[in-house]
Chains A and B, each alone.
Chain A
Amino acid sequence: VRRAAGTIAALAPAGLLLAVPLAGLGLAVGTGARAGAPMATGGRALASSAAIGACAAAVALLAGTSAAVVATRTRARRFRRLAAALAGAPLLAPPYLVAYALTDAGALAGRLPLPPPLLAGVALGLSLWPVVALLAAASLGARSGSLEEAALTFAPPARVLLHVTLPLAAPGALAGAAAVFAIAAADYGVPALLQARSLAGDLLEGYATGFDAGRTALGALPAIALLLVVGLGLARLLARLRLAQAPAGGDRLPAPLLDGPLAAIILAPGLALALAAVALPAAVLAARAGPPGAWPAAIALAAPEAGRSAALAAAAAAVASAAALVPSYLAGRPALAPRGARVAAAIEKIALALFLLPGSLVALGVIAALDRPGALGALYATPAALGLGLAARTLFIPLGALRAASAALPAGPEEVALAAGLPLRSIVLRVALPALARPLAAVLAVAFAASFSELALAVLLAPPGFQTLTPRLFNLMHYGRDRAACALGLAALACAGGLAALAAGALGRRTRP
């Protein structure tokens, strides 16, 4: 009983984090149903969001799969390193900076090269393709390469790549593409900057015209259902990937399939897209930011907002990672506590659903849950409401990543701890945490980056006097104050670069046995 109570207590933070926005959304939908006609969320917005998601997924699939194949199927170290570096590079460029650069490049050319939804999809695909790369690499990494080695005895490398390697990468690549589709379809900032209609934008507008969370959430129900269907499909794909990742043992050395020129050819699309994702914004921002001597003043103007954003994103990432630690470990090590593992798996699915919903909808849930008299109302009037929304929305990132990392841990230390009668809390703190330090650092960095650049939540949940950097930057871009916006964008790129370097450093260091 004590063990079960300990498990429940350990799962509670993650459950509570998810419960606030979900309960709020439930309350809002109920209130909206009683209040009358729902706020219309147009079919055109849904179609536009679907186009954005599909385009982003296509771009990400192309670049991500090629990077993953090279990273796992070549013995040429320089290509493996290049592929890994490329997968981290888009972290340098928040999606709205890529969008801004595309707009600016389009404006220079006289008009935008693609219809706005497709352009928004390209911008988001350029930023999100590492998701596909990481999952496809996970798919391929779980296989030893012996199939390809056998096939190479009677078929040329290109044919082996097409008929053996790509099908092996497919589960991860498709899961990544589905994730990119869902994230891009739920985005607000990039479509808004590129004048593409979007579901998240319609929700924000719908809420702004009446400040009625109930009717807005009710109007969004069809979209919620659609996103949940995508989410369930994604969960199934991820589950298959989990099976593929299950300790297969054996030799994990990459097969010598892609050495030399073939690796370079396959890597080319990823290289081009990664360069576009980083170099284009950097070049456009530097060109538009005016003389470098004026940059510090422009950056100093938004220093308070940057500080708030950093503190809040750090807090949200830390809360989400801390709350995810036990559930992800239990889900990854189901033998430890089978019932707890089932609950943890359910928490991960719910977190995935929340991750896939537009930020504006998650914000509506938080508003509906907290904007009421009493203690909850007092909480709503502080930055904690925004922090809570960010942590809840990004919870899936540490849950999913740490679950996969936990599954790959050797069983020995845990078995010793169990035999010694250590409680779950001690096993997690003394056995799992040291072993998971490296992925935890990476997860913190990714969750920080996701929270730092979240726009819709910041617009709807920031209390008076607590503006964060993203809305400031977004407004500057929208209002056409080019120089200040570009100087700030460059600073954001530099900060993201430092963060990516830190994460890469953490990943590159050996963990203690």
Chain B
Amino acid sequence: VTRGKGFLLAIVLVHACAGCGGGAPGGAPREVVLYTSVDEEVARPLIARFEARTAGVRVLPVFDVEATKTTGLVSRILAERAAPRADVFWSSESLRTEQLKREGALAAYRPEPARDIPDEWKDPEGFYVGFAARARVLAWNTRRLPPGEAPRRLEDLLAPRFRGEVAIANPLFGTTGAEAAALFAARGDGPARELYERLLASGARVVDGNSVVRDLVASGAVIAGTMDTDDVFTALDDGKPLAFCYTGLVIPNTVALVRGGPHGEAGRALVDFLASEEAERLLAGPPARQMPLRTALAGAAKPPACAVGDVPRLAVAPSACFDALARSQEFFRGALGR
């Protein structure tokens, strides 16, 4: 009899647990659903700060995994357009936020705290705002490469010295995809395709995400790879033998309100917070050390990060990058057999 009761108790527990968690976004007024492609450990402190400031608004975050960076969440928002579940999209880059805008998945909202962010980082129609940027870098292992042979641009990776010794993240996802689109836009489709075709033909490894590239380069498993500044700074913090140069792309975070999100008011409050000076200051500290876009905060990022103005940038308009995104993605789907 005791065993029977225990078994029944287990079943009751099952049903209780199946309903627990409070994750349902079904209209609860003090919740806000955030889809974010920002690394979890970077996003969590800001979420905690927002929850503390708003005294009771609970953020229900959805993070992605490195293998499907940003693209997965964008696809999810698009798939949910008929009945949106997300209120706010906080992206680690800007091209796919532009894609959401063009697909009609975002609501126009100009957060008041973003007034001192330069206009070049804000969507002219007010659908999203950029803040706290990272830059794309080409990094190499200094133990495996003499100083005189350090690469200075992507083309240098085609040298015989780097055959089978280069890693890049999957260009269908994340900031590597944004970088590829920028190259397609800046150099034209033909030269960009040729660059990537030759890189792949020379045995470049395509892996799941920039952090994996960082680990491969830091361990010496490959000599060089492309990644973001926060990746290289993390490795330098750990004393890894890395050096880097910029590839010419500055990538801001972007935040936007999802059209038809179930918690509009709390969503706007979260957008306000993420576009605020406080958020940029928080992101300028370790481990992210992202570069503030506000001129008043230039140089606030902890070393070895620098200011946005110090990064040499490709002469290409964001809209041209976005237009090139679909073409570059099409190319990589074929080239990578995915």
Binding site for B on A (CB under 8 A): 40, 42-44, 103, 106-107, 110-112, 192, 195, 201-202, 204-212, 308, 311-312, 314-315, 318-319, 322, 373, 377-378, 381-384, 387-388, 429, 433-434, 437, 459, 462-467, 471-472, 474-476, 478-482, 484
When distances are taken between beta carbons in the complex, the residues of chain B under 8 Å from A209 are 68, 71-72, 75, 172
- With A40-B337, A382-B23, A464-B23 given, is the CB distance from A478 to B18 under 8 Å? no
When distances are taken between beta carbons in the complex, the residues of chain B under 8 Å from A43 are 337
Cβ-defined contact, A111 with B221, below 8 A: yes
Shortest beta-carbon distance from B250 to chain A in Å: 21
When distances are taken between beta carbons in the complex, the residues of chain B under 8 Å from A472 are 40
Chain B count of residues within 8 A CB distance of the other chain: 66
Q: In the complex, A429 Cα to B212 Cα: how many Å?
A: 52
Q: In the complex, A201 Cα to B83 Cα: how many Å?
A: 28
When distances are taken between beta carbons in the complex, the residues of chain B under 8 Å from A103 are 215
Q: In the complex, A382 Cα to B20 Cα: how many Å?
A: 8
Residue on A with the closest CB to B240?
A480
Please encode chain B, from 58 to 72, with 1 for each CB lying within 8 Å of some chain A CB and 0 for all others.
111111111110011
When distances are taken between beta carbons in the complex, the residues of chain A under 8 Å from B34 are 464
User: Out of A111, A202, A463, which one reaches B338, CB within 8 Å?
Assistant: A202
* B76 contacts chain A at the CB level, 8 A cutoff: yes
Cβ-defined contact, A204 with B3, below 8 A: no
- With A314-B13, A318-B11 given, is the CB distance from A208 to B68 under 8 Å? yes
When distances are taken between beta carbons in the complex, the residues of chain B under 8 Å from A467 are 61, 63
User: Out of A201, A208, A315, which one reaches B18, CB within 8 Å?
Assistant: A315
Q: In the complex, A112 Cα to B167 Cα: how many Å?
A: 15
Binding site for A on B (CB under 8 A): 3-4, 7, 10-11, 13-15, 17-26, 31, 33-35, 39-41, 58-68, 71-72, 75-76, 78-79, 83, 85-86, 170, 172-173, 205, 207-209, 211-212, 214-215, 219-221, 231, 234-235, 238, 287, 337-338
Cβ-defined contact, B24 with A478, below 8 A: no
Cβ-defined contact, B67 with A204, below 8 A: yes
Shortest beta-carbon distance from A513 to chain B in Å: 14
Cβ-defined contact, B85 with A464, below 8 A: yes
Shortest beta-carbon distance from A209 to chain B in Å: 6
Q: In the complex, A352 Cα to B208 Cα: how many Å?
A: 30
When distances are taken between beta carbons in the complex, the residues of chain A under 8 Å from B11 are 318-319, 322
- With A111-B221, A208-B72, A314-B13 given, is the CB distance from A433 to B4 under 8 Å? yes
Cβ-defined contact, A42 with B338, below 8 A: yes
Cβ-defined contact, B219 with A464, below 8 A: no
Residue on B with the closest CB to A110?
B220
Cβ-defined contact, B23 with A463, below 8 A: yes
Shortest beta-carbon distance from B199 to chain A in Å: 17
Q: In the complex, A106 Cα to B214 Cα: how many Å?
A: 15
Residue on B with the closest CB to A467?
B63
Cβ-defined contact, B17 with A471, below 8 A: no
Cβ-defined contact, B24 with A382, below 8 A: yes
Shortest beta-carbon distance from A492 to chain B in Å: 17
User: Out of A206, A388, A433, which one reaches B3, CB within 8 Å?
Assistant: A433
Cβ-defined contact, B67 with A381, below 8 A: no
Q: In the complex, A355 Cα to B19 Cα: how many Å?
A: 24
User: Out of A212, A308, A480, which one reaches B211, CB within 8 Å?
Assistant: A480
Cβ-defined contact, B215 with A107, below 8 A: yes
User: Out of B60, B78, B234, B338, which one reaches A464, CB within 8 Å?
Assistant: B60
Shortest beta-carbon distance from B78 to chain A in Å: 7
When distances are taken between beta carbons in the complex, the residues of chain B under 8 Å from A206 are 338
Mostly, the A contact residues are helix
Cβ-defined contact, A110 with B26, below 8 A: no
Residue on A with the closest CB to B207?
A195
Shortest beta-carbon distance from B227 to chain A in Å: 11
User: Out of B58, B59, B211, B220, which one reaches A478, CB within 8 Å?
Assistant: B211
- With A111-B219, A111-B220, A322-B11 given, is the CB distance from A192 to B67 under 8 Å? yes
Indicate the member of B19, B24, B79, B220 with the most A CB atoms within 10 Å.
B24
When distances are taken between beta carbons in the complex, the residues of chain A under 8 Å from B214 are 480
When distances are taken between beta carbons in the complex, the residues of chain A under 8 Å from B338 are 40, 42, 202, 205-206
When distances are taken between beta carbons in the complex, the residues of chain B under 8 Å from A475 are 39-40, 63, 65-66
- With A110-B221, A322-B14, A377-B83 given, is the CB distance from A192 to B4 under 8 Å? no
Shortest beta-carbon distance from B82 to chain A in Å: 9
Residue on A with the closest CB to B35?
A464
User: 4 smallest A-B Cβ distances: which pairs?
Assistant: A465-B60, A208-B72, A208-B68, A211-B79
Cβ-defined contact, A44 with B23, below 8 A: no
Shortest beta-carbon distance from A188 to chain B in Å: 9
Cβ-defined contact, A463 with B76, below 8 A: no
Cβ-defined contact, A208 with B75, below 8 A: yes
- 15 new A-B pairs (CB below 8 Å) besides A208-B173, A465-B31, A465-B59? A110-B220, A111-B219, A205-B68, A208-B68, A209-B172, A315-B14, A315-B17, A319-B18, A322-B14, A383-B18, A463-B23, A464-B60, A465-B58, A479-B234, A484-B41
When distances are taken between beta carbons in the complex, the residues of chain B under 8 Å from A387 are 17-18
Q: In the complex, A202 Cα to B208 Cα: how many Å?
A: 11
Cβ-defined contact, A311 with B20, below 8 A: yes
Cβ-defined contact, A210 with B40, below 8 A: no
Cβ-defined contact, B17 with A314, below 8 A: yes
When distances are taken between beta carbons in the complex, the residues of chain A under 8 Å from B62 are 462, 464-465
A-B contact pairs, 12 of them (CB 8 A): A106-B221, A195-B205, A208-B71, A211-B79, A315-B17, A381-B23, A381-B85, A433-B4, A475-B66, A479-B234, A480-B231, A480-B234
When distances are taken between beta carbons in the complex, the residues of chain B under 8 Å from A481 are 41, 287
- With A212-B79, A465-B59, A480-B214 given, is the CB distance from A44 to B17 under 8 Å? no
Q: In the complex, A206 Cα to B333 Cα: how many Å?
A: 11
Q: In the complex, A207 Cα to B173 Cα: how many Å?
A: 13
Cβ-defined contact, A112 with B23, below 8 A: no
User: Out of B68, B75, B208, which one reaches A195, CB within 8 Å?
Assistant: B208
Cβ-defined contact, A373 with B208, below 8 A: no
Q: In the complex, A112 Cα to B58 Cα: how many Å?
A: 43
Cβ-defined contact, A319 with B75, below 8 A: no
Q: In the complex, A143 Cα to B78 Cα: how many Å?
A: 60
Cβ-defined contact, B65 with A478, below 8 A: yes
When distances are taken between beta carbons in the complex, the residues of chain B under 8 Å from A44 are 337
Cβ-defined contact, B221 with A112, below 8 A: yes
Q: In the complex, A459 Cα to B18 Cα: how many Å?
A: 17
Cβ-defined contact, B40 with A107, below 8 A: no
Cβ-defined contact, A471 with B65, below 8 A: yes
When distances are taken between beta carbons in the complex, the residues of chain A under 8 Å from B35 are 464
